[in-house]
A and B are shown apart, each in its own frame.
Chain A
Amino acid sequence: MTAVLTVAMPKGRIFEEAADMLREAGYPLPPEFEDNRKLIVEAPEAGMRFILAKPMDVPVYVEQGVADVGIAGKDVMIEEERDVYEVLDLKISTCYLAVAGLPGGIKDKVAPKVATKYPEAASKYFREQGEQVEVIKLNGSIELAPLIGLADRIVDIVSSGRTLKENGLVEYEKIMDITSRLIVNPASYRLYSDTIHTLVERLRKVTDSKEAAR
């Protein structure tokens, strides 16, 4: 059975790479897809309907079943811990989660503070390290925190390292590699199994051929 799949796409960083990838996998997306301000985009030729969401919200839409599949960064998956299938590593938007701070190391050893957009991931990491820290959640411009003395370290994603450098920060430790994943709602995964597995296999071919070319 062929079903129209609802796909939750993250706006921003991952979006264009993900759209290119779907095209490479043979899904004809409308040309105006990228510069659209609409939140819902129909792509009947691809048998898909797209919803454009904040990256952090993609797993929510998928878990709740209003989107059948979605594309989400591993960083978001760790932070959100949603009940969805993580079926394929798309190997796009490669970056990593790292601890960074001012050069010269950690000054405040009494009550160390860590600022981050990823409180769950950060708490988990420091717990594993056996280190006691206070995690402060920020929603953006994390690099500001050590500069202004809010925290002496930050946990954030690093792709080129430029943002860190421009703000005079250095990386202390790498926590983990991050790539984007194809995620699937558990019920959709069973009900539209054929359509979804076709999508997975086609995308897998694209990632594999890219891997081979590298």
Chain B
Amino acid sequence: MPKPFVFEKPAGMRDKLPLFFQASEQIKQQLLNKISVWGYQMVQTPTLEYFDTVGEASAISDQQLFKLLDMEGSTLVLRPDMTAPIARVVSSSMKQVAYPLRLSYSAPVFRAQQREGGRPAEFEQVGVELIGDGTLSAEAEVLALMSDVLKETGIQRFTITIGHIGFVQELFIEILGNAERAEELRRFLFEKNYVGYANFVKNMPLSSIDSARLLKLLECRGGEDALLKAMELAGTEKAKKAVSDLMQLKKILGDYGAEETVNFDFTLLSHMSYYTGIVFEGYAAGIGSPIAGGGRYDDLLSRFERSAPAIGFAVRLDYVMEAIGQMPDTSSRTCILYSGERREEALRIAAEKRSSGTPAVTQDITGVENVDTFTNRFTDVIYLIGKTQGEETK
């Protein structure tokens, strides 16, 4: 293996330079403010977790986990998502705090990338978890909040698509009879391969009614009509309940004024295998991958021995920044360029500016090689040079 160049970073790792960092922090703060006025409280969890606890529960595929060993030889992972760590916190340190819990976070997560270096292996997520509330009201709240948060980014055109893993699973089991075949079929939807799905269904020894039902699933998308179509397909009480729940959910979203931004698609399956009920993704024009996503995960908490229904979403800050595009540098920065004789004056002026909240840089002129290229970076330059009194402003 070749030795890396001194300036190289591991695949998928990125630097944030000042201008981008500032813009991204500003957006992040806006999103967090929005989340906090909905009453969600921030938590922070460690970057490293045990593979056997959070790593296993996280449902990010094994080869995407960054693993290392601690001093005792236990396998650790860099957290690949925030939901599993929060489930761990809720079941341990916060065990005494009664449900429902509204928690939020903003943190980088880590997922190793096998394909070319284009995709980031570390990226920031801003999200919430609403734990211990199994109602539709909780689902609607989380969806409405996600819609509110995406609006807050200023992204012009975005949409949220809602699917229901529970419904799909119920339909497949009912028609196919066993979990293995259902899994095979689910795999096609997960891989977004409708052609393969249709071929698989056509080659199965099924009654023409059942095979038509499975094919119809591909058409269950859109607004109200998607739900009506799905209702026709539902064969079991559980499946019917899933659809009527979604109808109710749509109504509650209407009360939030958020139904404009959502639509339904029953073929939507998220890669996070812990989801049990609704799943959803948010898309923005021009960004190829979902900028946000989430769902209901009613089984995850029981892995941490504090069983509870739960729902949450995460927004990918890097994709949000991409969707917003280049941000102009609007911050004003003053530079006070001084020579030794007038240092005291320079420092006094700088202190005044700083105390009023204006960023001020003090720079000894003898420390600068090229004054012009240096001062170009500032919106305002004050020269305090030589023995003469009075200042010159650029």
> Do A88 and B194 have beta carbons less than 8 Å apart?
yes
- B265 and chain A: residue at smallest CB distance: A190
A-B contact count (CB 8 A): 52
> Separation in Å of the A61 CB from the closest CB of chain B?
10
Given that A83-B192, A191-B157, A193-B222 are contacting pairs, would A186 and B289 also be in contact in the complex, using a CB cutoff of 8 Å? yes
**Cβ distance A197 to chain B, nearest Cβ, rounded Å:** 8
| Contact of A86 with B192 in the complex, beta carbons under 8 Å | yes
The distance in angstroms between the C-alpha atoms of A89 and B157, with both chains bound, is 30
The residue in chain B whose Cβ has the minimal distance to the Cβ of A3 is B285
CB-contact partner of A89 in B195, B284, B287, B289, under 8 A: B195
Over the window 181-194 of chain B, the binary record of Cβ atoms lying under 8 Å from chain A Cβ atoms (1 yes, 0 no) is 00000000000111
Chain B residues whose CB sits within 8 angstroms of the CB of A65 once the complex forms? 286-289
Look across to chain A and name the residue whose beta carbon is closest to the beta carbon of B161: A190
Q: Does A185 contact B (CB under 8 A)?
A: yes
Q: Is the CB of B286 within 8 A of A181?
A: no
In contact, A191 and B285 (Cβ under 8 angstroms):
yes
CB neighbours of A63 from chain B (8 A): 288
Contacts known (A186-B283, A186-B288); A193 close to B221, Cβ less than 8 A: yes
Interface residues of A in 153-194 (CB under 8 A from B): 181, 185-187, 190-191, 193
| Interface presence of A84 (CB below 8 A) | yes
Query: Residue B211 at the A interface, CB < 8 A?
Result: no
Do B193 and A185 have beta carbons less than 8 Å apart?
no
- State A191–B284 Cα separation when bound (angstroms): 8
Cβ 8 A contact of A186, one of B199, B285, B290: B290
- Which residues of chain B are near A185, meaning CB under 8 Å? 288
The answer to whether the Cβ of A64 comes within 8 Å of any Cβ in the partner chain is: yes
Question: At the interface, yes or no: B159 with Cβ under 8 Å from chain A?
Answer: yes
Tell whether A87 is near chain B: CB-to-CB under 8 Å: yes
Q: How far is the CA of A65 from the CA of B290 in the complex (A)?
A: 11
- A85 interface hit (Cβ, 8 Å): yes
CB pair A86–B288 under 8 Å, yes or no, is: no
Tell me the chain B residues, 250-269 only, with Cβ under 8 Å from chain A.
Answer: 263, 265
> Which B residues touch A187, using CB under 8 A?
283-285, 287-290
- Within the complex, which residue of B193, B222, B284, B290 is in contact with A86, where a contact is CB–CB below 8 Å? B193
Q: Give complex CA distance A88, B159 in Å.
A: 24
Kindly state whether residue B196 has any CB partner on chain A within 8 Å: yes
Task: Give the CA-CA distance A86 to B221 in the complex, in Å.
Answer: 16
Task: Tell me which residues across on chain B come within 8 A of A191, comparing CB atoms.
Answer: 157, 159, 283-285
| A87 to chain B: closest residue by CB | B194
Task: Report the minimum CB–CB distance from B391 to chain A (whole Å).
Answer: 52
Contact B290 A87 (CB under 8 A): no
Question: In whole angstroms, what is the CA distance A87 to B289 when docked?
Answer: 17
Please, how many angstroms separate the alpha-carbon atoms of A187 and B281 in the complex? 9
Residues from 140 to 162 in B contacting A, C-beta threshold 8 Å: 157, 159, 161
CA distance A86 to B285 in the complex (A): 20
* Chain B 45-69: CB-based contact to A (< 8 A → 1; otherwise 0): 0000000000000000000000000
- Nearest-neighbor residue (CB-CB) of A63 within chain B: B288
Given contacts A186-B283, A190-B265, A191-B283, contact A85 B289 (CB under 8 A): no
| Pick from A64, A181, A190: contact of B195, CB under 8 Å | A181
CB distance from B265 to the nearest CB of A (A): 7
Contact B221 A85 (CB under 8 A): no
B289 touches A86 (CB 8 A): no
From residue 212 to 226 of chain B, which have CB atoms closer than 8 A to chain A? 221-222
Q: Which residues of A contact B281 (CB under 8 A)?
A: 190
Closest chain-A Cβ to B363's Cβ sits at a distance in Å of: 43
Report the Cα distance A121→B161, complex, angstroms: 33
Per the 8 Å Cβ criterion, residues 124-162 of A in contact with B are none
Among A63, A86, A88, the one with the most B-chain Cβ atoms within 10 Å of its Cβ is A86
What residue of chain A has the Cβ atom nearest to residue B118's Cβ? A64
Q: Nearest residue in B to A89 (C-beta to C-beta)?
A: B195
Name the residue of chain A whose CB is nearest to the CB of B160: A190
Contact B265 A86 (CB under 8 A): no
Chain A minimum-CB-distance residue to B197: A86
Interchain CB contact under 8 A, A86 and B194: yes
Nearest chain A CB to B143 CB, angstrom units: 15
Report how far A137 CA is from B290 CA in the complex, Å: 33
Check B194 against A84 for contact (C-beta < 8 Å): no
Measured CA separation A118–B287 after assembly (Å): 29
In Å, the complex CA distance between A41 and B95 comes to 61
Task: Return A109 CB to nearest CB of chain B, in Å.
Answer: 32
- What's the nearest-Cβ distance from chain B to residue A147, in Å? 33
Q: List 9 A-B contacts (CB under 8 A).
A: A66-B288, A86-B196, A87-B194, A88-B194, A89-B195, A89-B198, A181-B195, A186-B192, A190-B263
| B interface with A by C-beta (< 8 Å) | 157, 159, 161, 192-196, 198-199, 221-222, 263, 265, 281, 283-290
- CB-based closest 8 A-B pairs: A65-B288, A187-B283, A85-B192, A89-B195, A86-B193, A190-B283, A190-B161, A87-B194
17 other A-B residue contacts (CB within 8 Å) besides A83-B289, A187-B284, A191-B285: A63-B288, A64-B288, A83-B192, A85-B194, A86-B193, A87-B195, A88-B195, A89-B199, A186-B192, A186-B283, A186-B288, A186-B289, A190-B159, A190-B263, A190-B265, A190-B281, A191-B159
